């Protein structure tokens, strides 16, 4: 159960003016519903160039304001000639920006520029050998006969005017095409997946040689930029952070403390469902070793009482989420006025909310989905904060790199995901203090394993995947 509440919060819109110098060299991926859109963004970032995934409905006008160095049209499950198939703004072809179409993106390019796409006599799925007809530009250093991953039932039967053939496979005559003058490129395969052995070389060619990007998206550069943006946004105001002890909130706390010092207040709510000695270790680490003040709230009895007699795991989640909101609200009021709420939103959260929280005309977030560390709800409507989300541009592995670079201990950097409701949902049946202690002892100190307590039994362990 992963629900969220839209709040009357104020989030800084991601426009070119506040993306910062670091992000001005970026590649935009227009998402047409591909399962690989996020993976494309990750592959671009692996070249140390910033990338963003936006809705296919993003207008050419907004893209022009962002001024990306290149645009990638993702794959998708539709046929370009089908009714209601997603199409991008045709004005993007007039922007003068290099464009790479991947699978459906290539077919859309062909369709909109005057070529033809039809249902293939024989679909192509899985690994295929790519035979190169033109080894320049996009396919420089891509070996002839290399393996690429295919997944398509339609094919290009006629290229648009100005396009040339770059490569083919046994079953796909037009596997890669290009209009070199306009820097429009299309590939029928998926270079972003690991099965495409020449995929990374192709991506690097597009990013570095065709789009003329430089590798400036580094961990050190991000930290420097994030600290500068935090200080500019927050000024001398106070910031509140709900600390869970996980890698996201801990990295966020360290980053904020580097930027604004004691203007940050961390609140740690101990609901009684954490692993053995975890609250004590967390407080000692933050307060004694790193001198980051944490407001500790012991709410163990309150939470255990709230779920007394409850056996359904989803009902446990709902109740724990509700209590967390109430405790957080009460605590924040006691601590005085705060202008900002720091939230550990990551880039997958932003992508996930694209359909409901993106303005189709601009591609920008128009409402904020508040994420709490228990993953079951949002904060109350009358709790008004402005948001500060320094990690909103990062994937999880990038967060770990940032945490490591700013001094977060390895035990937290490499910490395995742990559910917000904690041990309460790893106990099948009613949760009692006795059963919690049994499970804590069984799991300690092997935190990298997931342990569960079954009804009328001891504990059961299984490796975390």
Q: Which of 286, 281, 225, 289 is nearest to 250 (CA)?
A: 286
DSSP category for residue 456: T
Exposed/middle/buried for 359, CB within 10 Å: 0-12, 13-18, 19+? middle
In degrees to the nearest 10, what's the CA dihedral of 248, 425, 448, 278? Answer: 70
Instruction: Tell me how crowded residue 408 is: count the other CB atoms within 10 A of its CB.
Output: 22
Which three-class secondary structure state does DSSP give residue 100?
A: strand
Q: Is 196 annotated as a binding residue?
A: no
Q: Is 458 annotated as a binding residue?
A: no
Q: Is 249 annotated as a binding residue?
A: yes
Q: Which of 38, 52, 124, 192 is catalytic?
A: 192
For 440, residues 6+ apart whose C-beta sits below 8 A from its C-beta are 275, 276, 423
Which three-class secondary structure state does DSSP give residue 226?
A: helix
Q: Would you call the peptide bond into 445 cis, given omega within 30 degrees of 0 as the criterion?
A: yes
Q: Phi first, then psi: give them for residue 167, nearest 5 degrees.
A: -160, 160
Q: Which of 62, 168, 190, 257 is catalytic?
A: 190
Instruction: Tell me how crowded residue 100 is: count the other CB atoms within 10 A of its CB.
Output: 30
103 assigned to active site: yes
DSSP for 386-451 reads: EEE-TTTT--HHHHHHHHHHTT--HHHHTPPP--TTGGGGSBSS---HHHHHHHHHHHSS-TTEEE
Structure token digits, residue 342: 């720091």
Q: Which of 88, 103, 211, 266 is catalytic?
A: 103
For 224, residues 6+ apart whose C-beta sits below 8 A from its C-beta are none
Q: Is 245 annotated as a binding residue?
A: yes
Q: Is 244 annotated as a binding residue?
A: yes
Residues annotated as catalytic are 103, 190, 192
Going by the annotation, the residues of the binding site are 244-250
Going by the annotation, the residues of the binding site for ATP are 244-250
């Amino acid at each position: 159960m992963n629900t969220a509440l839209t709040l009357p919060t104020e989030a800084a819109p991601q426009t070119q003016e506040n993306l910062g110098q670091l992000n001005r060299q970026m590649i935009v991926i227009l998402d047409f519903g591909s399962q690989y859109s996020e993976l494309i963004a990750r592959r671009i970032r692996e070249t140390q160039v910033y990338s963003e995934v936006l809705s296919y409905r993003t207008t050419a006008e907004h893209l022009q304001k962002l001024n990306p160095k290149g645009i990638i049209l993702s794959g998708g499950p539709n046929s370009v000639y089908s009714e209601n198939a997603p199409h991008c703004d045709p004005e993007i072809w007039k922007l003068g920006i290099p464009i790479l179409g991947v699978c459906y993106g290539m077919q859309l390019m062909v369709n909109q520029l005057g070529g033809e796409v039809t249902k293939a006599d024989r679909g192509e799925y899985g690994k295929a050998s790519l035979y190169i007809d033109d080894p320049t530009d996009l396919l420089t250093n891509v070996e002839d006969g290399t393996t690429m991953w295919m997944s398509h039932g339609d094919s290009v039967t006629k290229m648009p005017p100005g396009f040339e053939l770059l490569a083919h496979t046994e079953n796909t005559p037009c596997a890669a095409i290009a209009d070199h003058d306009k820097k429009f490129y299309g590939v029928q395969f998926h270079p972003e997946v690991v099965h495409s052995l020449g995929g990374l070389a192709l991506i690097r060619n597009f990013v570095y040689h065709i789009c003329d990007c430089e590798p400036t998206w580094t961990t050190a550069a991000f930290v420097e930029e994030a600290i500068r943006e935090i200080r500019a946004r927050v000024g001398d105001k106070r910031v509140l952070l709900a600390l869970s002890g996980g890698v996201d909130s801990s990295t966020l706390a360290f980053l904020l403390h580097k930027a604004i010092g004691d203007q940050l207040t961390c609140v740690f709510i101990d609901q009684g469902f954490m692993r053995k000695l975890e609250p004590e270790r967390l407080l000692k680490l933050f307060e004694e070793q790193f001198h980051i003040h944490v407001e500790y709230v012991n709410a163990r009895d309150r939470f255990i009482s709230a779920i007394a007699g409850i056996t359904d795991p989803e009902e446990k989640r709902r109740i724990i989420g509700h209590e967390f909101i109430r405790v957080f609200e009460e605590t924040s009021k006691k601590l005085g006025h705060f202008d900002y709420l720091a939230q550990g939103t990551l880039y997958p959260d932003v992508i996930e909310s694209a359909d409901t929280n993106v303005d189709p005309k601009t591609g920008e977030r128009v409402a904020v989905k508040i994420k709490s560390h228990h993953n079951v709800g949002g904060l109350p409507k009358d709790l008004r904060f402005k948001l500060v989300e320094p990690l909103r541009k990062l994937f999880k592995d990038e967060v770990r790199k940032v945490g490591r670079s700013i001094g977060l201990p390895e035990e937290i950097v490499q910490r395995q995901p742990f559910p917000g409701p904690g041990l309460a949902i790893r106990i099948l049946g009613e949760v009692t203090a006795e059963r919690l202690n049994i499970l804590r002892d069984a799991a300690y100190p092997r935190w990298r394993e997931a342990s569960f307590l079954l009804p009328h039994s001891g504990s059961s362990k299984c490796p975390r995947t």
